[in-house]
Structure 1
Amino acid sequence: MSRSVWKGPFVDFGLLRSVVKKERSDAQKKGPKDPLKVYSRRSLILPDFVGLEVDIYNGRSFQKVLIKEEMIGHYFGEFAPTRKIFIPKDKVKNKGKKK
């Protein structure tokens, strides 16, 4: 089920506050900019976030993501997988051994 329209999009208040702070500090700061750390995977990506480099927490480590225009309306959690992909190991053949 999707979220009710009358409720509006959910964005963590702390995340919004830190984005505004970051924009102010980056305007004054020259040189490389530090990525914003995002713990709230359930927050929606808003148009204000486009162009920001964020580190999204996946439960174990941070995944670097650059927010693009196509990502608006999606959740941060969609871009940082939490599960490790299972890759089966090759079966080792016993060469030259007899039972």
Structure 2
Amino acid sequence: MSVVNSRNEKILLPRSGADGFWRTVMDHYAGTDTLRWKYLAMLALRENSGWPLDTIGLVFEHPRGHVSRCLRKVKAELCEQFSADGFE
């Protein structure tokens, strides 16, 4: 599978498992930005593990509403970065 980033460059997403996926995320989205990695961790806990917003907030010491806003923000940033329509 491939996506197009904000510079209209085609990015191939490897089928080799999670390591390749996270390498792509690191190279083209998060890099060394600790806040973006924090948002990605929140997203992973919510989407992959089904954690409730309250529990994610407890872990990151944020109120539920803030966690919800962080999740919306990271989803929007990922959509923009990788030009994915309808990612919600």
The alignment's TM-score, normalised by the length of structure 2, stands at 0.27
Which structure: larger Rg? 1
Structure with the larger RCO, 1 or 2 (CA within 8 Å, 6+ apart): 2
Indicate the structure with greater helix content: 2
The alignment's TM-score, normalised by the length of structure 1, stands at 0.24
Indicate the structure with greater strand content: 1
